Amino acid sequence: MSTATVLLDATGIKRAITRMAHEIIEHHRGVEKLALIGIQTRGVFIARRLRKEIEKIEGMEDKTLPCGEMDINLYRDDWTRISHQPIVKPTEIPFEVNDRDILLVDDVLYTGRTIRAAMDALMDFGRPARINLAVLVDRGHREFPIQPDYTGKKVENDYDQHVNVLLSEHDTFDQVTLD
């Protein structure tokens, strides 16, 4: 039986989010056209944390950065392998997508299938000017040619290992492990 290796503790996750927020602001030269969309489930919480950090850095006391959430289960090409009855969570995008810079946010990037499905789902809401990707953990092993623009941590791992992201909003504490 193997023991899990802690890749990021709560402090490490906070540092990663802060660094990513600075990179996003720098890359976009501000946040005027930017909107975040978190992919259910933990991507939503990471998007909210990024939004809060970006707003703090940019001094946005009187303005809120648009942030939405998306469920991509019915857009996946492999949903029948995952579950016979997919559990569909809310998709709420309370802003105009057309001509906006959209930042898709997820917890872990692995094969790329989730992100491909998210881009398909996003197109049902309009045509963004640009789509970027932010992930807390990039674990490699792609099946699609998808790369993150902003990464909290890149992890070297084997196919049979698992990256587990725990966030206090869902799991009572913050931690990323590899087992």
Average pLDDT by stretches of 10, the chain with 179 residues: 88 98 97 97 97 97 94 74 67 97 98 95 96 98 96 95 97 97
Q: Please give the domain boundaries of the chain with CATH numbers for all domains.
A: 7-162 (3.40.50.2020)
Neighbouring CB atoms inside 10 A of 171's CB total 13
The pLDDT value recorded for residue 85 is: 64
The pLDDT value recorded for residue 89 is: 81
The pLDDT value recorded for residue 75 is: 84
Place of tokens 């970027």: 132
Neighbouring CB atoms inside 10 A of 90's CB total 10
How many residues does the structure list for the chain?
Answer: 179
